[in-house]
C-alpha cells in the first residue's frame, strides 16, 4: 500500500465511520480499519477513503510523521489498540484517542508513549450521529508540536474552520473537558425530562406537549439543540409508552461526580441526574422496597405486592 494518507482511523463504528467520511469529503486522504469486515466495506466506496485489512496495513498507508486516530469504546479495548498501534510507530509519530476515556487513564497513556518518543493527543468528541453533516465539537489535549500539524484535521471535523474546537492544554485536558461537558449534559437532559413529565402529568389542560416543545425552541431562554431533538422525538411519539424507562450511563457522569468530590466542588444537579439514571436501571429497587416496609412497620401503611416479571 502506497504511503499517502494523512490519517488512519482505527474503529469504524457510528462515530468513527462518519468522521472518516467527513474528513474524506473535506479533501483529506484517510485510511480506515475495523476488525469487522462489514464496517470496512461500509466506507470502502467513499471517495478519498482507503480501507486497510489490518492495523499494520493502515499504518503503512500513512505519510510521516504518522497519525493514527483510535475511535473505540473507552477501557481495555482502547488500551490494547493503543499498545498495538504504538508497536508499529516510530518516534515523532502521533496517536489520537477520541473515545470517552477517563482522563487519568489518558495521562498514564501519554506518559508511557512519551517515554517511547511518541505523541499522544486525547480528543473529546461531541456531535453523535449528526456530526457528519453538522460537524463535531472537539476538545483536545496534547503537546502543541503534535497538535499543530493536525489542525487541518480538527478544522475539517469541526462545524466550521474557526469554531467548534479548542486545544485545551496538556495531555488529559481534552478528556477532562469532555467529562465535564457530559456532566453538564446529564443535568440538562434531566431538567428537560422533568419539565416534560410535569406537562404530560396535567390532564386538565390537555396540553399538546410536542407543540409546547416546538414553541420553546424559538425565543426562549431554554432553547438548545437538545430541545430541538426533544421536539422532534415528541412529534413522532408524544406518549412514549413503548420506550422502556431505563437510562444507561456511560461512565462520564460518574467520573464528573467523583471529580467534584476530589476537588470539593458541589455538583448537586449532576449528582441528582446520575442518581436518577441509577434508579432507572433498578439500582434503587431494594431501597424503595425497604422504605415501603419501614412505612408499614411504623405506620401500618399498605405495601403494594411486587409485580410478576414480564414474560
Has residue 254 been placed in a domain? yes
Do 139 and 184 share a structural domain?
A: no
In a domain, 31, yes or no: yes
Measured between alpha carbons, how far is 26 from 21 in angstroms, rounded to an integer? 9
Are residues 206 and 286 part of one domain? yes
In three-state secondary structure terms, 138 is strand
In terms of Cα–Cα distance, which of 250, 266, 5 is closest to 125?
Answer: 250
Residue 307 lies in a domain: no
Q: Per the residue annotation, which of 46, 178, 194, 252 is the catalytic one?
A: 178
Q: Active site residue: 46, 57, 134, 185, which one? A: 185
Whether residues 29 and 134 share a domain: the answer is: yes
Q: 10 Å Cβ neighbour count for 62? A: 23
* Residue 61 resides in a domain: yes
- Residues 120 and 186 reside in one and the same domain: no
- Clarify whether residues 186 and 149 are in a common domain: no
For residue 250, what are the contacts with CB-CB under 8 A and spacing of at least 6?
A: 100, 182
Same domain, 272 and 201: yes
Report phi then psi at 139, rounded to 5: -135, 115
Q: Residues in the chain with pLDDT < 50?
A: none
Q: Tell me if 198 is assigned to some domain.
A: yes
Q: Which of 118, 139, 170 is the last residue of a domain?
A: 170
Q: How many helices (H) and strands (E) does the chain have?
A: 14, 8
Rounded CA gap, 186 and 172, in Å? 21
Looking at the domain assignment, is residue 308 inside a domain? Answer: no
Q: Which three cell numbers stand for residue 54?
A: 489490518
Cα–Cα–Cα angle for 157, 161, 166, rounded to 5 degrees = 75
Do 135 and 263 have their domain in common? Answer: no
- On the CB side of 166, CA atoms within 13 Å amount to 13
How do strand 94-97 and strand 67-70 relate by DSSP bridges?
Answer: parallel
Instruction: Give the pLDDT confidence score for residue 34 in this predicted structure.
Output: 97
For residue 260, give its domain range: 179-297
Strands (E), 11-164: 30-33, 49-51, 67-70, 94-97, 119-126, 137-141
Are 191 and 137 part of one and the same domain? no
* CATH number where 90 lies: 3.40.50.720
Residues 159 and 22 in one domain: yes
249/135 same-domain check: no
Domain shared by 107 and 236, yes or no: no
pLDDT confidence of residue 4: 82
**Domain boundary residue among 170, 193, 211?**
170
Sign of CA dihedral 84, 80, 254, 127: positive
Residue located via cell numbers 441526574: 273
pLDDT of residue 294: 82
Query: What CATH number does the domain containing 249 carry?
Result: 1.10.1040.10
Q: Is the dihedral of CA 156, 162, 168, 173 positive or negative?
A: negative
**Do β-strands 119-126 and 137-141 pair in parallel, antiparallel, or remain unpaired?**
antiparallel
Domain boundary among 170, 198, 222: 170
Domain count, the chain: 2
Domain annotation covers residue 247:
yes
If you search the block for the grid coordinates 420553546, which residue do you land on? 216
Query: Could you give the CA distance from residue 56 to residue 241 in angstroms, rounded to a whole number?
Result: 48
Q: What are phi and psi of 137, to 5 degrees?
A: -80, 125
Per the annotation, the verdict on 202 as an active-site residue is no
In a domain, 62, yes or no: yes
Is 259 considered catalytic here? no
**Are 138 and 186 contained in the same domain?**
no
Amino acid at each position: 500500500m502506497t504511503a499517502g494518507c494523512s490519517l488512519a482511523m482505527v474503529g469504524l463504528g457510528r462515530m468513527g465511520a462518519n468522521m472518516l467520511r467527513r474528513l474524506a469529503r473535506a479533501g483529506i486522504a484517510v485510511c480506515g480499519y475495523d476488525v469487522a469486515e462489514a464496517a470496512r466495506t461500509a466506507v470502502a466506496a467513499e471517495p478519498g477513503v482507503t480501507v486497510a485489512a489490518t492495523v499494520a496495513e493502515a499504518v503503512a498507508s500513512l505519510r510521516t510523521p504518522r497519525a493514527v486516530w483510535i475511535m473505540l469504546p473507552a477501557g481495555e479495548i482502547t488500551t490494547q489498540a493503543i499498545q498495538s498501534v504504538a508497536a508499529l510507530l516510530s518516534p515523532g509519530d502521533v496517536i489520537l484517542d477520541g473515545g470517552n476515556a477517563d482522563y487519568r487513564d489518558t495521562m498514564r497513556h501519554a506518559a508511557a508513549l512519551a517515554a517511547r518518543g511518541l505523541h499522544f493527543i486525547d480528543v473529546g468528541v461531541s456531535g453523535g450521529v449528526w456530526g457528519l453533516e453538522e460537524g463535531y465539537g472537539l476538545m483536545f489535549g496534547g503537546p502543541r508540536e503534535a497538535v499543530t500539524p493536525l489542525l487541518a484535521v480538527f478544522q475539517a471535523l469541526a462545524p466550521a474552520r474557526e469554531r467548534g474546537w479548542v486545544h485545551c492544554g496538556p495531555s488529559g485536558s481534552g478528556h477532562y473537558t469532555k467529562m465535564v461537558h457530559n456532566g453538564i449534559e446529564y443535568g440538562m437532559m434531566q431538567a428537560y425530562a422533568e419539565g416534560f413529565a410535569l406537562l404530560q402529568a396535567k390532564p386538565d389542560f390537555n396540553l399538546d406537549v410536542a407543540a409546547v416543545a416546538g414553541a420553546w425552541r424559538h425565543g426562549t431562554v431554554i432553547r438548545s439543540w437538545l430541545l430541538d431533538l426533544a421536539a422532534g422525538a415528541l412529534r413522532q411519539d408524544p406518549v412514549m409508552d413503548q420506550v422502556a424507562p431505563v437510562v444507561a450511563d456511560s461512565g462520564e457522569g460518574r467520573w464528573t461526580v467523583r471529580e467534584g468530590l476530589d476537588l470539593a466542588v458541589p455538583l448537586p444537579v449532576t449528582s441528582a441526574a446520575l442518581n436518577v439514571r441509577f434508579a432507572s436501571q433498578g439500582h434503587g429497587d431494594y431501597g424503595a422496597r425497604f422504605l415501603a416496609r419501614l412505612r408499614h412497620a411504623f405506620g401500618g401503611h399498605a405495601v403494594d405486592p411486587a409485580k410478576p416479571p414480564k414474560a
